[in-house]
């Protein structure tokens, strides 16, 4: 795994998660991103605890114990040192911020500057990071429109 890879998570036992999967027609209801720092791998997530970075293996074990299923997907892109610094900077700026989803934000037609963002939904965290790395066309993509589907 490398920085930017995606981990989709299916949480079985929670009614709200099942309703979310039904509404989005997706088998997944949560998403996180792998971050490599040196030789260590982490899972960066926006959850009820806010934006946090966890040791990947330990976090995967916790998700597994909860009955969740996880699926990893590799991000196919050129990973340059410059890109990796952008990923690390983006994650560092997001760490500790609150978790949140707003229907109004989902309807936005304008991107929110990262330094003004106070809350992150799980997929918005990833889409914003990808956008910061130029993986989306600027001005055409609104990270708040992305869901873990």
Distance CA 120, CA 8 (A): 17
Kindly list the distances between the CA atom of residue 17 and the CA atoms of 4, 50, 107, 148, in Å, as whole numbers in the listed order: 24, 17, 21, 11
| 63: enclosing H helix or E strand | helix 56-65
Percent of the chain scoring above 90 in pLDDT: 28
* pLDDT value at residue 149: 44
Per-residue pLDDT tens digits for 43-89: 999 999 999 999 999 999 998 898 888 888 888 888 888 988 999 99
Read off the pTM: 0.79
User: What is the arithmetic mean of pLDDT over 116-138?
Assistant: 80
Least confident of 4-13, 16-25, 59-68, 73-82: 16-25
* pLDDT value at residue 61: 93
User: What is the arithmetic mean of pLDDT over 91-104?
Assistant: 84
Q: Which one is predicted more confidently, 30 or 114?
A: 30
Distance CA 17, CA 20 (A): 5
Nearest Cα to Cα of residue 48 among 103, 12, 101, 99: 99
């Amino acid at each position: 795994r490398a920085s930017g890879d995606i981990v989709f998570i299916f949480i079985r036992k929670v009614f709200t998660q099942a309703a979310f999967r039904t509404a989005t027609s997706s088998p997944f209801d949560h998403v996180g991103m792998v971050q490599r720092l040196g030789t260590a791998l982490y899972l960066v997530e926006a959850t009820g605890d806010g934006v946090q970075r966890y040791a990947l293996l330990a976090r995967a074990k916790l998700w597994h114990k909860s009955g969740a299923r996880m699926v990893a997907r590799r991000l196919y892109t050129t990973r340059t040192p410059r890109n990796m610094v952008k990923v690390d900077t983006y994650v560092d700026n997001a760490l500790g911020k609150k978790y949140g989803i707003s229907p109004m934000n989902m309807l936005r037609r304008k991107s929110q500057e990262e330094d003004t963002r106070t809350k992150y939904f799980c997929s918005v965290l990833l889409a914003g990071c990808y956008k910061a790395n130029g993986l989306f066309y600027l001005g055409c993509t609104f990270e708040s429109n992305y869901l873990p589907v």
